[in-house]
Chains A and B, each alone.
Chain A
Amino acid sequence: MSTKILLSLICLWPLAALAEAGCELRGTGDLGVVVERASGSLEFIETTHDRLRGRVEGLGDLSHASVVYSRDGRYAYVFGRDGGLTQVDLLCRRVVKRVMQAGNSIGGAISQDGRLVAVSNYEPGGVRIFDARTLDPVAEIPAEYAPGRRSKTVGLVDAPGNRFVFSLWDAGEIWVADMGDPAHPRVRRFKGIGKQPYDGLITPDGRYYIAGLFGEDGMALLDLWNLDAGVRRILPHYGRGEQRLPVYKMPHLEGWAVAGRRAFVPAVGHHEVLVVDTDDWSLAGRIPVYGQPVFVMARPDGRQVWVNFAFPDNDTVQVIDTRDMRIVKTLKPGRAVLHMEFEPRGEAVWLSVRDRDLIQVYDTATLGLVKELPARKPSGIFLTDRAARTGL
């Protein structure tokens, strides 16, 4: 073997090792995944050219599945309804590791330092915490609110200070878990926050945790900068004495559509988006919309809010201009629009249209359809810029 060949082999070896079979050497900033709920698969997407990049299968029951990203944006952690936690590599487009960690789960979060992944479980009720690199179990927080009684946990988010915050559906409590010593979480309980918290969110700055209540009017707010002040009720008079419509799909509180000092939230049991003044958490207005909202998502610059709806109105999406709170567009993408995800700088938004087996991309300036891509019963869409955002 000539010296030249030997030298070039030595030079090329690290590159070859990096680019393992099927893996790519590129950034992940324009990548993401779409959950295909019925077939237990993920579709990889790329937003620079609005295209599909292939699929990974065998992720189990992905109904209501959600995804968080490692801090480097390379790995997706997929939380399946069946209790499966799967780590997927976006560059190699394959499953790295998969564990069945519970019988019935609902969502998860990754810690501020990126080292811990937490999963919220219905059965057995509580939160389990894993090493983000190995998926080895690190700790368990059973949601035992009374002797022998465990609650389903919902609304699990990460919070600054390496904490996880979540709510107890059966108990009406919010728990804050400090992960300073990962193997021994220190939990602080807030009781009597209201009946049936069904979901929770954290404001983008990481300061406020808010739980939506199904069993009564209003929302529960916890100031994470001042835990001693406890939980207080906001929007207390909202809906009181009014006829509430039957709810065929619970709204989601993921993300917090904020524009200036206004936040936009889905009303429960009403065809309205609520506008909340974030200075004093009072109700600043109501915007009548087409149906009962499920997701209320702000374009990253806060100029627009996009809303999708519960059954039987889930064929429609409406766009609100936040300057004057008017609906500027009503779109009809097709039956079962399940999720909307903005590209990081907001120039486009991706929609999943389950019953048409389609992903659609809209230009948010013209509000026109720019691309349709095939997918199998698509639901959640998750782009990698979530890696750098608290609560997502």
Chain B
Amino acid sequence: MRPCVRSGMAFAAILGFTLTVQAAGPSPERQRYLDDLLHEDCGACHGMTLKGGLGPALLPQRLRRYPRAFLRATILQGRPGTPMPPWRPFLSDADVDWILDRLLGVMKP
């Protein structure tokens, strides 16, 4: 009984921790950094307003055609055979979630 309770508590703790992290997302300072990154550095190829440049537009109506997992993989791993580089060295999972929410219009800028 006791081990069961303990593991249940541990599970709840982990669950709670995960939910907290997801709910919190990047800090406000980090969000400002990501916002700059999105418009200035992604914007170098995709246009500062994300309407496209040498790279394609990143507007919600276009991106919603793709599964979220595909978009996540594109950002983190890049797209071989195209100029899209992997952003894994600079972004955490929470960062990518925040960026995807922004790009897909889940969250208003």
Interface residues of A (CB under 8 A from B): 37-38, 61, 63-64, 81-82, 104, 106, 122-123, 152, 154, 169, 196, 198, 214, 246-250, 311-312, 336, 354-355
Contact = CB atoms under 8 A, between A and B. Distances in A.
Contact of B86 (A63, A214, A246): A246
Given A122-B53, A169-B54, A336-B40, A246 B85 contact: yes
A369 B33 CA distance: 27
Contact of B53 (A38, A106, A214): A106
A342 to B, nearest CB: 23
B83 A104 contact: no
B75 interface: no
A247 B44 contact: no
Given A64-B44, A214-B83, A354-B40, A246 B49 contact: no
B93 interface: no
B45 interface: yes
Nearest to A245: B85
A250 B45 contact: yes
23 contacts: A38-B48, A61-B47, A61-B48, A61-B49, A63-B48, A64-B48, A81-B53, A122-B52, A122-B54, A169-B54, A196-B83, A198-B54, A214-B83, A246-B78, A246-B85, A247-B85, A248-B41, A248-B85, A249-B41, A249-B44, A250-B44, A250-B83, A311-B44
A61 B78 CA distance: 27
A169 B54 CA distance: 8
Interface string B53-92: 1100000000000000000000000100001011000100
Given A64-B44, A104-B47, A311-B41, A247 B83 contact: yes
Given A104-B47, A104-B51, A169-B54, 12 more contacts: A63-B47, A64-B48, A64-B53, A82-B49, A104-B53, A106-B54, A122-B53, A123-B52, A198-B54, A214-B83, A247-B85, A354-B40
4 closest Cβ contacts across the A-B interface?
A63-B48, A246-B85, A311-B41, A249-B44
Contacts, number: 56
B72 to A, nearest CB: 17
B54 A154 contact: yes
A154 B45 CA distance: 13
Nearest to B81: A215
Nearest to A335: B36
Contacts of B83: 196, 198, 214, 247, 250
A81 B41 contact: no
Nearest to A170: B54
Contacts of A64: 44, 47-48, 53
A81 B45 CA distance: 11
Contacts of A104: 47, 51-53
B83 to A, nearest CB: 6
A154 B83 CA distance: 16
Contacts of A196: 83
B43 interface: yes
A250 B40 CA distance: 13
Nearest to B49: A61
A323 B47 CA distance: 39
A106 B43 CA distance: 13
Given A169-B54, A250-B54, A37 B48 contact: yes
A323 B83 CA distance: 35
Most chain B CB within 10 A, of A198, A214, A311, is at A311
A63 B40 CA distance: 8
A312 B90 contact: yes
Contacts of B54: 106, 122, 152, 154, 169, 198, 250
Interface in B1-54: 36, 40-41, 43-45, 47-49, 51-54
Nearest to B85: A246
A64 B52 CA distance: 12
A63 B85 contact: no
Most chain A CB within 10 A, of B40, B49, B53, is at B40
A106 B51 CA distance: 13
Nearest to B51: A104
A255 to B, nearest CB: 19
A82 B57 CA distance: 13
A247 B49 CA distance: 21
Contacts of A122: 52-54
